Structure formats: structure tokens, C-alpha cells
Structure 1
Amino acid sequence: MPSAMGFLQRFWSYAILLTVPVVIPPAFRLTLLQFCAGVLTGCIATYYVIPGVYNIFIYPFYVSPLRHRPGPKIRSGDPTEPYTTWMRTWPGERFIRAIGFGHSDVLLVTRIDAFREIFQTKADLFIKPKFHTRIITPITGVGVVFSKGEEHKKIIRQRRAEINAGKVDIGAEPDMLTYMLMEQSVENPWPEDKIMDNVLNFMVAGYETSGNTLTWATNRLSIRPDIQDKLRAEVQGLLARKLNPDYADLEGLRYLNNFCKENLRFQASGIMAAREATEDVEVCGSLIPKGTSLLMIPHIINRNPAIWGDDVDEFNPDRWDNLSGDAKDPFALATFLFGPRSCIGRVFAMLEMKMVLVEVLSKFRFEPEVKQEDIVRVNPCPALRVSGGLKVRVR
């Protein structure tokens, strides 16, 4: 809490105690209960009401070291539209300031160099926001998704102990972690880190994000028959040579690889990743105060004209054959995040998408069923999902 807030709290605490004898007329006799109620009311005002007023109406606008940063005044649009608008309104800024829940400071990160420091070189100084954990875990429980480090290992050890004690009925509790622990060999058990990596991959990346990515891919194929025909020709050429292609064969499909990357760039399935500074830290020359929340929106890197050029809003798989400038940076495709906390299933996700597309393109043709302007995205939502699903005509 800022020092100014501490001063205000102490000031009002002393003021309440000093003014009690003054504001109570001598002729008015308070019972002990009434006196205690008055003191309690004063304490509540001191420690809750006054800090609330300070944090909402004073600190963000007159005290915060981030108050001079540019930032939006309102929120609107689908899950990605407002962030893209802000990024293009202030194209030269690494950080765009917004007012978050409870009028706290939130920084939207818009430049590759800032992302690199936050997610790679200084990743140990940024954690998942405590506020998000406090809000979500009372509803969902801690579990494996919102746990980390030693908490992950405790979950594994607890489940392993329950299995060894015969307390787990696999038929009644068919969860992924239990299956993995029961199937591993006694002589060669899996390391705990490997177990958690696989469980998280199946839970977080294996269904929601992959499903959404393929949804947008089929939609793109339906409205771009030129791209669909080019992909189909490449796929049919491969299958004519080899009916059961392997990993190397799929990797050799240049246009399919370009299409998958462009699909991930154009519509990143995950909306955002949030981090919180654990201490005062400098990022690209800017001070980030302890406790500041930072939002990483893959969409604003993937659709940034300063990185991808003036045709950033054009779906063009061929761009991947001629990358230049910042677009050649590995951090330019932000869909899987970066650094030690990036998506562990990125290679699997790419392979999965290619396998599905090879299979469906060899058998079906997609045509649009709905107008693009009629597609409604779910908002708010942590993933880029379509309200009511996205229909295409399959022939």
C-alpha cells in the first residue's frame, strides 16, 4: 500500500480517538455498547472506507507512478477488439495503462522486447496474479491448472498414496492423473514434472484451444476457396505418393505449414495471459511497481502492423515464406506465449492440426453457411469461441 495511504490511515485513527470526547455532549450519556459501536464504526471507516476512497478516486489519478501512461477510458467490443484498438491508437507505446478491478493499475504489453523481458529474461519476477487465484479457486478449487511448483507435486504424491493404499476406484474416479499413475511401471516411474506436463497439456491445451483453432481453420477454408484448393492439391499430391504419411511427410507440406501458422496468427485461440510483478522491476527502461498486473494479449502482437506490415489484417499464408524485420523474431507469433512458461504442447498442437486438415481436405469440401458479420464471439471468455458454434457446409 502506498505510503500516502498509511499516513491517511494513521491520521484518521488519531483523529477519531481525539474527537470522541469533543463530539459527544457531556449531557449525553453513552452506554458501553453504544460507545463500542461508535469506535467500531470509526475503525471500519479508517481501514475500509477511507482506503477504498483513496484507491478508487485518488491513487489511480494523482499518485500512481503509471498515471501518465496512455490508456483507454472505456471498454467495448468482442474479446480482442478493444485491445487491438488501443494498440493501434498508441502504436509507439510498449505499455498501455488501463484501470482494472477496484481501480488498480493494469498494463497492456504491446511490444516484443517487453514480452521477452517479462516472459523470458525476467520471468521469475512475474507470477500469475493473486487476484485471479482468489476469485477463481473458491469456485473451482485449486486443482492442477491453478497450482504451481510444490503444489503440483503434492497433488501427485497425494494421489499416488491413495492408489497405493487401495483407496481409489478407477471406475468411479476416471481422471487423467489417476490413469497415468496406475499405468506407469514400478521399475521405471515417470518424473513428477513429466506427469504434470502431460496432465496440463491434456486439460488445458488438448481440447478447448485445439478445438477452437480447428473451428476457425474450417471457417477460413470455407470463405477462401482459393486457399482451400491450393491446400487440397498439396495434400492429394502427398497421399498419391504415400497413403500413410509420417511426421516428416507432414512437415514437408510447405503450404499446409504456412496455413497453420497463419491461422494461429490471425485468430489466437487464447485471449490473454496475466502476470503480476512480485517487486518493483524495470522493463525496457520503464518502472513496473510491485503488484502491478500486466496483460499479454497474443492478438495484439499477432495483428500489430509494426511487426507484420500494412497487410496485417489480410489472411495470407504466403507471408511465411518472406518474413522480414520483427516478423522473423520467434516472439512475433505470440499464440503459444514465450519463454519457460510457454505452451508445452505447441509442437503437438501443430501436428494435430495438420493431421486433421490432411484427413478432412482429402475427403471433404467446405463452403460458408453463415455471413462473417453474423458470427458472434463469446465475451467475456478466456478463449476465442463462437456463440452457438460456427457452422460451415460440408460436401
Structure 2
Amino acid sequence: MLDQNPLSRAWAALTTHTPLHTLVYAIVGVYLARFVYTTFLYARFFSPLRKMPGPSYGHWLLGRLPEVVTGEAGSAVTAWTEQYGRSIRFMGMLGVERVCFLNYKDLKQILVDEPYRFPKPKWAAHLLGVTAGYGLLTLENAEHSALRRFMNPAFAFKYLEMQFPLYLGPVNGLIEIYKDKLKEAGDPEEGTVIELTHGVNACLLDIICSTAFGYETDHLHNPHEPLGESYETLVNLQNGFNMGRIIAILGLPFGPQVVQWAVKQEWTGKGAMALVHKLGLGKGFSELGLFLTHMYRVNKISREMLETKLAEAKKLREAGQTDLDSGKIDILSLLAKASLDENSPYKMDQKLLEAQVLTFLGAGHETTASGMAWAMWELANHQDVQAKLRAECQEILSVSAEPTYAQIKDAKYLHNFVMEVMRLRPPTPQTARVASVDSTIGGRFIPRGTEIYIPNLTINTQKDVWGDDAKEFRPERWDDLPKEYNSSMSLLTFIVGAHSCPGRNMAVHELKVLCCMMVANFELHKTSPDQTVKSVAAITWKPDGGLSLRLKRTTWSS
């Protein structure tokens, strides 16, 4: 009589040695052995980096990753480099080795001299690609170099100056909104507590949409405008836990291809949300549905904007107006016109042009919004700095209600203040590279596949460059830079080399205008003497849950 015990049948199946069973067991055994070797044995006993200084291995599976992603941005690596030296190794997840170099010569080799030997790791490239477009941020080698040369003219200073008036409408709109809130509060002496980042983010979104796309959102006054609403939703989904989810999905076989396909289908987000409501699935599935829904909407609007820009560019060309300065001067219009230039050695296809919309939104808006949040926090914490900055900005605005491009560019203390914010509060406090081939850095052999952690914040605050007060907020330091200061390497907020930020000057000018108008019109104070801010570092580093401060109207000096 056959044994009906399920465990007995399972054991019999496992111990049956047919050729197919033997092959399956062999494959499983090979993969298991490889997993054990790479995760537990290689780094400890065989890696050429095993004697490199650095902290212990940490968690048996996650390594030192929890400390890197959960602590204050950059704090773990800063502590390790202070303890173990300027070149260290630490363990990532699943036995992945990460190395970190602080010496300028080593950083120059990685970022400037040989940037395409050290590209972004695949997980980082796909994370940026999904959230900020597969364009300038993700391309490498000759394709990246050609695209960068093609795009550089659109960021020329002359266009920055021509676009400057477009900043003023949204900034003035934000100032009026805050003035109205103070009037409603009715107590000019005490002022009122306002959550500031929501309005600032809307203002900066209106600016980037106008200057980059020639697209009027007015998200400040119309929170349900489709592009603004979707992008704000996507930004609110950014946290370490959700980034971990996306990275895990992207690490699956065909994960990147599935995600790229899913965000361009209207039904995927709706389907996920329907399952949430029908089956009572948890928050994770709900946020996945929101992500897919709003990524689809942003992609759809991007395609529509691009089609409009290409049609406008073709009309100009048919009318004989082939100069870049003809017609609209927003960045997307400039790129669309350049893409039709028959004499251009580089041809940007529609897919790549479309990707730049997400790139400009992600790199052009979110980083600036994070920087402005920290700028307001530093003002509230340093009333002496705020008073000095206010005096300069009110002097500028005493001539005219709106500053000019030249006035903002030449405002010395405003420049110092913004640069100090960028030094101590870089929107992207760290980045990563990977050795694509066996390499030698600082005389040390670096095997192919080794991840290189670049701690922007740590580099920005090195005491042997900036002095013992390197971690203190002191804008005056920019009047007398230390002799150890290196104009390329001492401030890595915008990276350096082939992958440096092409929109750096635009971002800095946006921050200057907004800081100038805010501090001239309002006093910014902490809500209480013991107020603290918890930060979160996902794609960008920003105050967790926004930033609330007490605002009061200023007194204008005569």
C-alpha cells in the first residue's frame, strides 16, 4: 500500500536520483556555494582589499549598510575616516566591498581623469533612471560625453541671464502668500508658525517648469495642476524605506526593464490601486500604485511637452530662423531646436529628449528645494547671519521692488551664505562609483566590481582643509578661503569632472533670489528654542516631514 504521508512522499522525491534531479541539485549547489563564497568568505579571506583599514564587517548579511543609510547623512563614513584614515574599506550588503578615498589625487583620478572607468553602479544608475530619467544622469562613455557637449550651450550664462525674469513671478507669489498668512494670524509681534517647504517646493517647481520647459504650472495657486500634483506626490514618496524597495526590485532579473515598461502604462497604477482596495493590501502596495500612477502622468505630460517643442522648432526652421536665440529660450526649446540642426554632429532622438524632462525635474527642482529648506533652517539658527544678510538684501530691494540679475550676481554676502549652505548641506551628501576594470588608486589595487563610496559631505567638511570649525556654519569663511582649499575638489556638492552638474549656476541663482526675497521680507525663527530637525536622505537630503518656522514681518531700514 502506498504511503500517503506527505513528508514521506517529499523525502522520496528528494532522494530519487534521476539525471534531471542530479542536474537540478548540481545547479542549486553551485549557486549556494557561490552565495556563501561571495557573501561570507571572499571579503574575509581572499579579497586583495582585506587588509585595507576600516571598520569591522558589521551585520552578517547587511554589513555596515544600516549605519550608512539610517544615521545622519555622512556621519558613519566621516567617523570611520577620522578613526581609520583617508582610505578605508567597509562592507555593504551581501558581502559587497566598498572603498572610500578622501585624498584629492585619488578623487581626481576617479571623477576627472578617468570618469568612464568608474561609472555609477548599476543599481544607482537604474534608481536615477526610474526616478529622474535615463538621460544625462545615467549615460556613460562616449554617449554621455556627446550628450553633455550637446547640452552645454543651453546652460550658457547668456541664457541664464535671459531666463532670470522668469524667477521673479513665482518668488513674488510665494512672498505674497506668506504675507497673507501673517495678516490672517493678526499678531505682527509674535508672527505665526508656517510650514515652509510646501510653498517653497511649489515656487521652485513653477520656476523650473518655466525656465526648463516653457510650461506654466502655477502650482503655487493651483495645487491640482497635473504635473505639479504628480511630481509633488512622487517627492513625498521619497524615503529610505521606499528607495530600498525600488532598489530591491531593480536588482531582480529584468527588474529595470519591467519598471521602465510599467511606468509608461496607464493601467498598471490603476490596477495596483484596485488590488489595494479590493484585497485590503497594505501601505507598500498603495505607495506602489501611487508611484506607477504619477510616473505615468509625468511621462505622458513630458511626451506632450516635447511634441509641442519639436513642432515649434520645426516651424522656426521652416521660417528660416535657425539660430538658437530664435523663439523661446527655455532649456527644452533650446535642445529641441539644436536637435533639428543638420550640421550638429550629435543627434538627440525623441526618447532621449523626453528623458531630459524627468532629469530637469529631479536634478533641477528637488536638489534646489532641499537646499532652500536647509537655507531657511540655517537662517533660523543663526540670527546674526540673518541680520547681516537682511541688510544687504534690503539695500538691493530699496532701489527696486525686484532685484536684477547683476545685483544678485554681485551680492557678496548672499553669495557667501548660499555657498556655505551648499557646503554644509549638500542636497546629495554622497554618491557612488564602481571600478569597471581592475584599477590602481593611490597605489592600491582595486579589483573590477569594487564599489567606490564618495562622501560629498565628508569631503566638504574636512578639518585639514576648512579648519577646526569645518562643521560650523560661517559664511565669512568664503571671504578668506584657506590655502589648502582646492577650487575643484574641496566642494563636491555639484561633483566635478565629466559628471559635474551642468545646472549648477542656475540652481545657485534660484537659491540666491529666493533667499534674498525671503530674508528681506521676513524674520525666520525657530518655533521654540529647543526645536530640532530630523533629516532624511533618500535621493536627496532634506528635513524629514518638511520644515515649520515662525515668520514675522521685517522692518525696513531707511
**TM norm structure 1:** 0.79
Q: Once the 2 structures are TM-superposed, how far is the Cα of residue 387 of structure 1 from its aligned partner?
A: 1.8
Q: How does 1:141-180 map to 2 (within 5 A)?
A: 143-144=134-135, 147-148=138-139, 173-175=300-302, 176-180=305-309
Structure 1 residues 32 and 88: CA distance shift in structure 2, 3 A: closer
Deviates most, 319-328 or 263-272: 319-328
Matched, 1:342 2:336: no
C-alpha distance in structure 1 between counterparts of 2:476 and 2:34, whole Å: 55
State the SS of the aligned residue for 2:300: coil
**1:43 match:** 27
Q: Per the alignment, in what secondary structure is the counterpart of residue 521 of structure 2? A: coil
Moved more, 115-124 or 76-85: 76-85
Q: Provide Cα deviations, 1:317-343, integer angstroms capped at 9, x if missing partner.
A: 000111123324322111000101111
Aligned to 2:93: 101
Aligned to 1:297: 455
| Aligned-residue offset at 1:174 | 1.8
Equivalent positions of 1:189-228 (< 5 A) are 189-191=337-339, 199=357, 202-228=360-386
Shift in CA distance, 102/393, structure 1 to aligned 2, threshold 3 Å: same
User: Does residue 53 of structure 2 align to residue 70 of structure 1?
Assistant: yes
Instruction: Please give the alpha-carbon distance, in whole angstroms, between the structure 2 residues aligned to 1:268 and 1:103.
Output: 29
**Corresponding residue for residue 389 of structure 1:** 546
Farther off after superposition, 216-225 or 182-191: 182-191
* Equivalence map 1:122-137=2 (5 Å): 122-133=114-125
Q: CA deviation at 1:302?
A: 0.8
Share of identical aligned residues, percent? 29
Answer yes or no: is 1:112 the counterpart of 2:95: no
- Report the counterpart of residue 52 of structure 1 in structure 2: 35
What letter is aligned with 1:184?
Answer: A
User: Distance between the aligned counterparts of 2:518 and 2:535, measured in 1?
Assistant: 25
Distance in 2 (CA, whole Å) between partners of 1:196 and 1:117 is 32
State the AA in 2 paired with 1:39.
Answer: L
Contact 2:111-2:497 within 8 A present in 1 as well: yes
Deviation at 1:64, TM superposition (A): 0.8
Letter in 2 for 1:392: L
CA deviation after TM superposition for structure 1 residue 239, in Å:
1.9
Aligned length: 346
CA contact (8 A) 2:135 2:355 kept: no
CA contact (8 A) 1:236 1:362 kept: yes
Kindly tell me: are residues 372 and 251 of structure 1, through their superposed partners in 2, closer, same or farther at Cα, counting changes over 3 Å?
Answer: farther
User: 1:250: which partner in 2?
Assistant: 408
| Aligned partners of 2:371 and 2:427 also within 8 Å | yes
3-state SS, counterpart of residue 229 of structure 1:
helix
Deviation, 1:140, is 6.2
- Between the aligned partners of 1:60 and 1:204, the Cα distance in structure 2 is 36
Using a 3 Å threshold, how does the CA distance of structure 1 residues 250 and 172 change in structure 2: closer, same or farther?
closer
Q: Answer yes or no: is the 8 Å Cα contact 2:393–2:519 preserved in 1.
A: yes
CA contact (8 A) 1:278 1:291 kept: yes
Structure 1 equivalent of residue 446 of structure 2: 288
For residues 141 and 392 of structure 1, the distance between their equivalents in structure 2, rounded to whole angstroms, comes to 30
Flag the 1:248–1:197 CA change in 2: closer, same or farther, 3 A: farther
**Cα distance change, pair 117–365 in 1 and its aligned pair in 2 (3 A):** same
Rounded Cα–Cα distance in structure 2 between residues aligned with 1:245 and 1:89: 47
SS of 2:100 mapped into structure 1: strand
1 CA distance for matches of 2:29 and 2:313?
Answer: 58
Equivalent residue for 1:166? Answer: none
Q: Which amino acid aligns with 1:115?
A: L
Secondary structure in structure 1 of the residue aligned to 2:366: helix
Alignment of structure 1 residues 254-273 onto 2, 5 Å? 254-273=412-431
RMSD: 3.1
Letter in 1 for 2:513: M
Q: SS state of the match for residue 219, structure 1?
A: helix
Aligned CA distance change for structure 1 residues 196 and 276 (closer, same or farther; 3 Å): farther
Q: CA deviation at 1:370?
A: 5.2
| Runs of 5+ consecutive residues of structure 1 not aligned to the other structure | 1-27, 154-169
Q: TM-score, normalising length from structure 2? A: 0.57
Contiguous gaps of at least 5 residues in structure 2: 1-11, 59-63, 148-296, 323-336, 340-346, 553-558
Which of 76, 82, 100 in structure 2 is aligned with 1:88?
A: 82
Q: What's the CA shift for 1:252?
A: 1.2
Deviation at 1:245, TM superposition (A): 2.9
Where does 1:349-360 land on structure 2 (aligned, <5 Å)?
Answer: 349-360=507-518
CA 1:294/1:207 → structure 2, altered by over 3 Å: closer, same or farther? Answer: same
Q: Give the secondary-structure state (helix, strand or coil) at the position aligned to 1:174.
A: helix
Higher mean displacement: 123-132 or 338-347: 123-132
